[in-house]
Every structure is written in C-alpha cells, then in structure tokens.
Structure 1
Amino acid sequence: MNKRSYGDDRPQPQHKRQKHEDHGHGHKASPQHSNRYGRPDDRHRPTNHTSSYEEALSQLPQSTTTLPPVAAYTPFTVSKSLPPLPDVDDPVLATAPFRHKSTTTSYNRSRTDRASEVTYEKLEFLGDAQLEHIASRLLYTHFPHLTAGQMSQLRELLVKNETLAEYARLYGFDNRVQVQELERMLENTKDKAGNKGFNKVLGDVFEAYVAAVVLSHGDEGFAVAEKWMQALWAPKLVEAAGRERYFTPGLKLVHDEAGVDPLKTYNAAGKAELQKKVLGGVGVKLDYEVYKKGVELRGDQLGQNKHFIAVYLTGYGYVRKLLGKGEGKNKVEAGNWAAQEAMYGESKGIVEECARQLETTREQKRKEREAKEAVEKEKVAEKEKVAEKD
C-alpha cells in the first residue's frame, strides 16, 4: 500500500490502492465549522444517507454464493440510524487506535527500532487488510453478476480514505485522535482540496479501530467487525449502485417494478433488445460510436472513468439517424444506456415504427415461406399419387 502515517519517514511498499495524503496542504476549516482546536464541530458532522441503514441493508441482493465461514455471526442489532460502534474491552486496544507513535514517551524520529507501545500505526496495517477482506466478501457474495473490475471499483469506494474519514467523524473519532503537531498540520492546510492531511489521519484511525475490534473479540472478532461494516456500508453501496448505474438484480431501489423509469434503470441487455427491435431488414444497421472523449472522474469516484457513446440508425429511410446517447464507466455500459435512450427517449417513436415495419416484413416472409412450403407439399403429394398408380 502506497501510504505513510504522519511522522513516518520509513520507505513504504507500493500498492495498487493509493490513499490521498497531504500533510502540508488543504483547506483550513472555517471558524464557524470547527471548535477551538481546529477540529470539525459536532454540529457540522455529515448527515445520514437518504435511506436508513436498516432499510439499505434489507435492500441489498440476497447472497448467492456460500463462502467458508470465518466465524459465526454474533448477535448484533442493526439500528435504523448509525449502527452502534462495537466495544473494545481490552484497555490497551481501546486507546491504541487513537494514539500516533509520535505521542508515545519512547518516540524518536532517529530511532530505527519500533516503539514498544501499541499505536494506530501498527493497528492500521492490520485493519486495512481486514477491511479489504470484508468488502471483498460482501461484494463477492451479494453482487456476483458484476465483473472483477466492477467489484474492484465498488470496493475502492467502500475502503478509500475519504469514506473511512467520513465514518470516523460520524463516530466522533476526530475528537479522540492524538497526533503530535496536529494543530500545526491543521493550520497548514490552505488549498481548496480540503483537509487531506487530517482526513488521512482519520482514515488510518478508523482502520486501526476495526483491527482493535477484531483482536478484542477473540474467535468471533472478524464476525463482529464484518456484521458492523456490512450495515455501515449498506447505504453507500445502495446509493453507489444507483448512481453508477450498475445493473443489480435484487436491488429494490433500482429495480422496483412499480413506477420504474427505464431511462433511469440500467439494462445490461439494452443493446440486444434494440437490435432485436430494428435489425433484420436489408441494409439496416446500428452503429455505436464515441461522441465525446472519455474523462477521468474525481472526488469519491477518483480512479474511475466515464465514457460517452451514441447509437446511429441506417435503414428504413434513415441515414445515420441519431437515436440516443449514453454515459457509463465503460463503453459497453455507455452503449446500453444509449440503446435505452433510443427505445424510451425522444426517438422512441422512430424505434417503434421501425419495429412495426420489421414485424410486417417478417410476417410477409413468414406467409411467403408457408405458401412455398404448401406448394412443395402439394408437389410431393402429387408425386406420391403418381407413384402409387404406377
């Protein structure tokens, strides 16, 4: 993983998942949004998602794959609001997630050996891997229809630093963290990107707390953490599945049959359905082409791309008639959205008329084929009668 904790000047290994960190740049919190220590005020914590955690959890698709259990789930109540924070009974582990090694009595930047005290730097290393594992199990079992690449994108949304920092603030971790020179770090965050340095710290602290939960609950520790994180992630995952337009059977928010809007519901078979409606006539074709250069997304979609595809019809008296446009995280998805717009958008009438003409043509061909077959049968019957007379 390509990241380093605040104050750590040791070389770090590279990892495909990168987390943002900027200890010297960011946006200084405005006075009305922070307390006297420069930390976010409780009154301005992120609000809950539109769906309650309980509702969102119930809306996830049913698991279709059985994995060997890590440990049986322990009894755990899922609240309609923020899921309760699992307890950490071990007195050392209870405080370690909030303490950076720079605050320990034995800390010395020039030392090459590790300090003896347990700090969030050590726990974060373990918690990071555990969160990746929990997120992977959740996506693998509940979203088996997605490709490995799609699951990787959704997992990144769940475990990236901005998401974890958001959760840390919801649980008040920002008021418990202990990092030497934190005030100086906050004062130095001047750019418009926000307080990336402090977000980095909060993300690490949250990962450390996950590790503390796993370690403090013995054999059931992983199960406790997994149950907690599944409930905590559910609203964000449901929201992302709708916003990113993943085709997700069983996701009630997206595929509720009552009042569903086809222009807002992803259809993985959109291109196939449009082809079935209009292709078949002589000289008829559909062309899917890029109409705008793809872009790399920012913010909570960092690392993902958006592609733009348009579909054109040639045939039925039209030459490269634009039927619809679509956007998606890849060209296939964008093409399906373009097909969906063609069938249900402004060009709906054109597609339906082409479909009627195609059906008429097919019906005529069917009648011609049946008539020809009837003639052939009559000829065969005549030959059989002649053969019987002979």
Structure 2
Amino acid sequence: MGEKRRNSESGPAETKKSKSSEDGVVYSEQDAEKLIKQVDKLQKTLQKIIKVAPTVEVFQKTIQSRKKMDLALLENPKSELGVEIRDIYEKGGSAILSRILGQETAVRQEVSSISAPSVRYTPSSILKPLMTVEYRGKSWPPLIPEIKDGMLFKRVFTHRSMLLGDTGTASEVHKTATKAGYDQTGNFSYERLEFVGDSIVNNILTKIIYDVFPGDDQSHLSFLRGQVIANIVLCRWAAIYGFPSKLRVASSVLSPEQLHILTVSILSPRTLGADANMWLVKYTFPGGYAAEYEKWYKSLEVKPKIDEALCGRKIVADLFEAYVAGVYLSYGADGEAVLTKWVYELAQPLLDAIRQEGGSISSMAEQQHGMKKPFDGTAKNRLYILIGSASLAPVYNVVNEEKYPDGSVMHTVTCSMGTEILGTGKGKNLVEAGARAAMAALDNTPAMDKFSGLRTSQADKLRKRFK
C-alpha cells in the first residue's frame, strides 16, 4: 500500500516536471489531442451552420415579410452571423473558413482544374438528359460526351443476348459466342468495354475523392469510393441520360416495357428497396430534382408503377461503365481529361451532400449503420458483469457481412441471451461490431431488467444452497 501511495504522490510532480522546460512552455501530447477534438467540433458546427443558415436573399425576404416568424429571432446577432458565414462560404471569400471546413485553398484549385480542365468535348447528339435541374448556377446533369465511332456506340448498347437473337438459349450462347463476347457475324456485346470502363471509373473517382476530401484518412476514402461507385449510383447516372431506352437486348431478358419501368423506377426519388446502398438514392441527385421528376413522370404516355426491386439495374450500371470506356477510346490522349470533367460535374451533388453531412465519410457511415454513439471498447465486459453468469452468458454471432467494391467489409453482429437477441451492432471489423452489439444491449432497458433480475435470482439460489 505504501508503495502505491508513493507512486501516486509522485505522479503530479512528474507531470509538472514533464510540462516544464527552460522557457516554461511545452506543447504536450494531451494538449494536441484536446486541440484536435476541439477543431473537429468546430468543423462539425460550421458545417451544420452552413447547412441550416438561409442565403442572404432568403433571409432578407423573410425579414421583409415579417409574417413567418418572430422578428426578434431574425434580428438576433447570432442569426445574422450565421447568414454571413454561409454567404462567405458560398462566395469562397475566406481561406481560413475553407481550411476549417476541410477544403484548403490548394485543394480548391485542384478541384477547380478537375471540374474545368482545358480540354473540350463534343456533347452527344443522341443522348440527352431526360430532365435537368439548376445546380451551382449550371444545368445538371452536364451534357454527356459523344462517342465518335458509330460502331463503338452500337457496341456499348448491345447486350450479349442480341448475339443470338430472341431464340437463343443458354446452351447456344456457349456454342456460337466466344469468350470475347461476339458472334460469328462479328457483332460485339458491351462486356469487354464494361471491363475497361470499370477500371477507368474507379481510377477517376479515386483521384476526385482524394482531392475533394483532404481531411479523410485512407480507410474513410476507401469506404467513400466504395459508396460512390456503387451500382445504384452508376445506374442512376446512366438512367438520367436515357441509357435503358438505347439498349439492344433480347425481349426474353428485358422487354421494352420492362426497360421503361426500369428507367422510371431507377430515377424515382422515392425508390428505397432493400439494397445496402439504397440510402444513396437521396444524395445522388441535387435538390429540386424530385419536383422535376414529378413533371417528367406526368408527361409520360405510359406511367408505370415503380418497381422497387429494380430488376435489371446491374445491366444499366454496366452500360455506364461501357459508355465510359467508349468515350475513353474515342478521345485518345484526351480521354481521361474529358471523362474527369464530365464525371466530376456528374458526381458533384453527391460529393457536396457528403461534405454537408459532416465533411467526412465517417459521418455517412455512422448515418447508414447507426454508429453515432462513441465507440465503447468495454461494453462487452460491462454487459457480462450486469447480466452474465457461468450458466448463461451473452453470445455474439456474425449475421451479415456487406462487401464493398473496394474490398472493405461492414460486419453485422448480434448479441443474444439464449434465444433472445438483445442488440445488433455494425462495424468495420468484428471487434467493433461485437462491442456495438453489446452497447445496443446495454441500451435495451426491458432486456437488461429481465436478465439482470434473472441473474440476481440465480445468485440468491446459490447463496441459500451453500448456507
């Protein structure tokens, strides 16, 4: 005991000594950690202010109307300051504000060069946006680059099923079509182009994400890339230009009616579905899109019911990758620059939304997977102490693993007592997922009351038995 007391008494003195120096000032690791946490809070607060604050125009109109809210709220200096902060941010007039928000000046210049490189391209005369929305003072989506070679364009929109016609069976495909994806008449499918386009899309978006999110580490960037190149995103980008209507595919695979339903369903802002990445639907297109979609839907001669299963969406996502490869081959040395300009402008609403939701992909992961509470590595031990015993203890089972295109995995783990599930947790590894399942169980008050009471009654029985 004396040894422990001596150690504890020497602690403060040693700490004081470590924080002193010849000039009396030292910046310690603890100081650095505190500073990083405070700056992180500042970044998140500023992002929320910019998201909530109205524009100067809206603010002024509201003041003039004097009907929508208490004038005292509008004239509060803090309200005015919030509007000024948003105005400065939108005009790009403050380098320090840009740095706080994770958008350093150098990075802004890189992004500017990405969105408007010196290269120019010829817009397609065949593919036009089905609807447009004003975004950042421009019409969105951007005009799509033209594929100059007519045969290459035809190949982009040719499904393997067309190599044999509607009567072709699966066995006949293997007899008459080679592994290269073409038949004896020389007609090619888009499969080889899709292979090339998949790599190009991945490469271009990797560089864009690296520039746009300077504050994120490698794991967050990988997670973000996996989300941005998800099939639900690519098929929506393809559908906005009417790709499904150009697809040459056997009616036994997708009929014209099914392609029409697919287009309408993919573009619907109400599509939810069961896919792990369906949450991206609300971020893919800019604000104001829903109203334009309703106008477009009403203008259709045939107004199909939305198919939330989106059967065939993988084919549409493949078309996007094949088209990217076609553009790349069409423009030679300028192919990558042309695609970078187009894809950056196409992805801008999604990337901006992610920034506004927290400035880091980690906040998007938290929103998707319910990981907003700080990670508690002691949760399993605390749970066992409260409800566990030798005869009945919490059991953790892996119930799902969501694999993303970049190779990362999101694990889902349940925490159970007997046949009853107390909580479910998700994490980038099994340790985190298990701990979050235990955290969820600790928050499950009815279950905790039930099993802690059971544990107490068992303990009482043991005491009586060995009295």
TM-score, normalisation: structure 2? 0.39
- Greater RCO (CA < 8 Å, at least 6 residues apart): 1
Greater percentage in helix: 2
TM-score (norm 1): 0.46
